[in-house]
Structure 1
């Protein structure tokens, strides 16, 4: 019988809200079984970059990562945000270990090829070192991954944190019974974006197509949902989307996705 593993990805609005982050980390630290936390930090990177005179460049809502922007991402994701989170988890007696994809060769990626847009030093994941990460988990560590990968040739790459969470859950599904949680400021996927309580509690492949056709799932939710179903199609047991309270596991007011 496989051990249970929870992989929790936290959104930028939670990271930027000290009380909200403290609340989430408290719930995360109490999760049963093995666990991994994944975070980005794009808003903080933009803030720090502006202070340094390095303006964030976006195309269609996606960040362009030039050499200067990559340096800011490394500083903010792998340093400022990562270490603050690991320190808070240590205070909660959760033995956290802050990692990038380069540490322990955890997540190998390649630079995204230039097509219509040159995204710069952005990485697309090739492989997760499930064996190495499993060793860390079994040794009692709780990995905390930031949104950085590497290409094996000395180059760090900025990589979407939702994608990292999805690829980690897939890579570790052979060893663990894996549930992937996407935590953000909403209670779940909403039927009406103006109504915070219009949570769609269950979405499967069939209902997903209907929600797409009706335009209920659109814009920024589209890439997140792609990552969700990509994980489910690759042996991840379950994916959940909602606010921090879904980690209490005593409420059903969030969105669960299955095939």
Structure 2
């Protein structure tokens, strides 16, 4: 089975031109089939503020009303996505920018209202792995932003970590799939104040212990939940760390296993 690498980059990399250029250079050198997934929440918040639109967050998750969805579509699908694609073309990577609506690649259900109404937020239900594979076989490199659709004409804001994990699950039907979550830290940390205290390996058992001890908390919990969900559903390997983990001479990052 051929290998496929899915790399997700966070907002801090996108926001810093030097970090983004450095990452894209590493990405362009990565051998084999690959897919890039990005968000852009910080840029969306900044643009929304300029337009006089208040960004509402609850427990780190964005409330996406109709106005906010317009901003997200412009920023994720336009400004950020096309900037990344253009930079990759300059590095001789034939990239193609996509939302989940393009080639019907990622369908979602609008999140039901329970205690909180998140608005136009999507929970992924289906990834069209065969359609995405057609792009890969045509030597294109897909670059997905964090937007999906419901199949009925409605775009939906969707968590980029979740998009990476669900694409990984879908593509694992035809590839040996690995996911790399790249952000500004070296990996999952034992002590957040010590940036070198990387936990090299986390499995299902140690994850529960780290949760119990409060070492893993807040935004890292949904990220790791996505990791384990992917591993339980066909993804071979999941890694979390900074962009240096894409090189062959670095092992200072976190690997997630079952």
| TM-score above 0.5 | yes
3-state SS of the aligned residue for 1:250? coil
Name the residue aligned to 2:189.
Answer: 190
Aligned counterparts of 2:41 and 2:252: Cα–Cα separation in 1 = 28
Name the residue aligned to 2:97.
Answer: 98
Name the residue aligned to 1:244.
Answer: 243
Query: Offset at 1:9?
Result: 0.3
Name the residue aligned to 1:223.
Answer: 222
Q: Can you list the C-alpha shifts for 1:49-86, whole angstroms capped at 9, x where unaligned? A: 01111110111221000000000000000000000000
**TM superposition outliers: structure 1 runs of 4+ over 6 Å:** none
Aligned counterparts of 2:227 and 2:243: Cα–Cα separation in 1 = 18
3-state SS of the aligned residue for 2:89? helix
Name the residue aligned to 2:30.
Answer: 31
Q: TM-score, normalised by structure 1?
A: 0.99
Provide structure 1 residue ranges, at least 5 long, that are not aligned to the other structure.
Answer: none
Query: Offset at 1:207?
Result: 1.0
Aligned counterparts of 1:57 and 1:203: Cα–Cα separation in 2 = 33
Name the residue aligned to 2:14.
Answer: 15
Aligned counterparts of 2:200 and 2:87: Cα–Cα separation in 1 = 31
3-state SS of the aligned residue for 1:209? helix
Name the residue aligned to 2:173.
Answer: 174
Query: What are the residue-to-residue correspondences of 1:52-201 with 2, within 5 Å?
Result: 52-201=51-200
Aligned counterparts of 1:28 and 1:256: Cα–Cα separation in 2 = 19
Q: TM-score, normalised by structure 2?
A: 0.99
Aligned counterparts of 1:44 and 1:177: Cα–Cα separation in 2 = 33
Length, aligned pairs only: 258
